[in-house]
């Protein structure tokens, strides 16, 4: 991959020199060819692109900050320390909802070597006009007060990561190699390892039995939980999952399918194939098999098949679109 950053956004140029000059004039960001005071530095310390100096570390409230028309110049000043990436977005922009979380994720992965500034173009028309954003999302960076157009539109995470790596390389080549410290950087590390969920005391015996592979006991324990708390949705789903494992225990894929092929009139054998399909992730196949059996079955068979379908709906999750679709087909067969 080339290390040069694009000079223009492929779908339209963005000239931000006027922003860089205004920010530099009012906030002291050294312009090309100048020496001055970089944020956190001392007079005479190199701060302009292309000038080498000791890397700086600056404390900031967050690695991801909202920027407004009024606060832009303050944020631009930080581009003398690290590259500042501006994400221009809007609430109504669907591609923005895909891209913005990716940019935030990649920013946090880079350990303070990039700062992300988010611009709501509806709330900040001055910046939207200054950035000459012909469409959104538009992503532009600043290094040492100088603009570096990146891209427009939603791009895959890997491409965002590659853009940022190239941006850091370009910044280092131009003497911008500092870091920013932010409280949320440490918070994200802690959030990456969530605490183990606490198992309700009433569920412990059933969980322990299932972990031992004693599904018969686990089923009895879950049924006992539901007798005391019929509205316990977690226990209801766990019971359905445990019954599925119970039915498949001791059987192999080959013998389940062979038995069903040899005994086409054996309802249990046919429904066990549906169990197998669902356990292997073939959810639509599982539901379709049971619905076909239901359509062709007599009253007793239909009761058993309906009960099995309802159990498998709990295993998958009642809000899953595939469950909703299958439930609708079952209702049409019932009525």
Active site residue 265: no
- Dihedral angle computed from the Cα positions of residues 328, 329, 333 and 335, in that order, rounded to the nearest 10 degrees: 20
Residue owning tokens 């062979």:
258
Cross-strand partners of 179: 57
Active site residue 311: no
- SS3 assignment, position 41: coil
Where do runs of H (alpha helix) occur along the chain?
Answer: 17-27, 72-77, 94-109, 125-130, 157-173, 183-191, 204-212, 215-228, 233-248, 253-262, 267-279, 283-296, 299-316, 321-334
Can you tell me the distance from the alpha carbon of 199 to that of 208, in angstroms, rounded to the nearest whole number?
11
Can you tell me the distance from the alpha carbon of 37 to that of 81, in angstroms, rounded to the nearest whole number?
11
- SS3 assignment, position 146: strand
Sign (positive or negative) of CA dihedral 157, 160, 166, 168: negative
Catalytic entry in 9, 93, 103, 278: 93
Catalytic entry in 19, 85, 88, 96: 96
Phi, psi (5° rounding) for residue 115?
-115, 135
- Number of C-alpha atoms within 13 angstroms, CB side, residue 194? 3
- Dihedral angle computed from the Cα positions of residues 185, 187, 192 and 193, in that order, rounded to the nearest 10 degrees: 140
Which residues does the annotation mark as catalytic?
93, 96
């Amino acid at each position: 991959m080339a290390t040069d950053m694009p000079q223009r956004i492929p779908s339209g140029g963005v000239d931000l020199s006027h922003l860089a000059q205004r920010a530099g004039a009012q906030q002291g960001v050294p312009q090309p060819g100048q020496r001055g005071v970089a944020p956190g530095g001392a007079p005479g310390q190199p701060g302009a692109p292309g000038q080498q100096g000791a890397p700086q570390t600056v404390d900031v409230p967050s690695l991801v900050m909202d920027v407004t028309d009024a606060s832009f110049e303050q944020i631009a000043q930080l581009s003398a320390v690290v590259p500042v990436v501006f994400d221009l977005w809007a609430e109504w922009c669907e591609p923005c909802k895909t891209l913005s979380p990716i940019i935030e994720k990649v920013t946090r992965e880079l350990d303070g070597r990039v700062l992300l500034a988010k611009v709501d173009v509806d709330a900040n028309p001055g910046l939207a006009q200054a950035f000459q954003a012909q469409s959104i999302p538009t992503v532009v960076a600043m290094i040492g007060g100088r603009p570096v157009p990146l891209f427009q539109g939603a791009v895959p995470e890997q491409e965002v990561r590659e853009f940022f790596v190239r941006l850091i390389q370009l910044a280092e080549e131009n003497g911008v190699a500092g870091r920013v410290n932010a409280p949320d950087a440490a918070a994200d590390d802690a959030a990456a390892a969530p605490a183990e969920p606490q198992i309700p005391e009433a569920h412990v015996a059933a969980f322990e039995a299932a972990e031992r592979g004693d599904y018969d006991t686990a089923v009895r324990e879950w049924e006992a939980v539901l007798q005391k708390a019929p509205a316990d949705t977690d226990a209801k789903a766990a019971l359905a999952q445990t019954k599925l494992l119970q039915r498949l225990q001791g059987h192999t894929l080959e013998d389940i399918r062979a038995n069903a092929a040899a005994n086409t009139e054996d309802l249990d054998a046919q429904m066990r194939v549906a169990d197998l399909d669902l356990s292997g992730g073939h959810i639509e196949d599982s539901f379709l098999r049971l619905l076909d059996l239901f359509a062709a079955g007599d009253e007793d068979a239909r009761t058993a098949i309906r009960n099995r379908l309802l159990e498998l709906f709990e295993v998958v999750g009642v809000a899953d679109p595939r469950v909703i679709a299958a439930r609708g087909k079952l209702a049409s067969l019932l009525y």
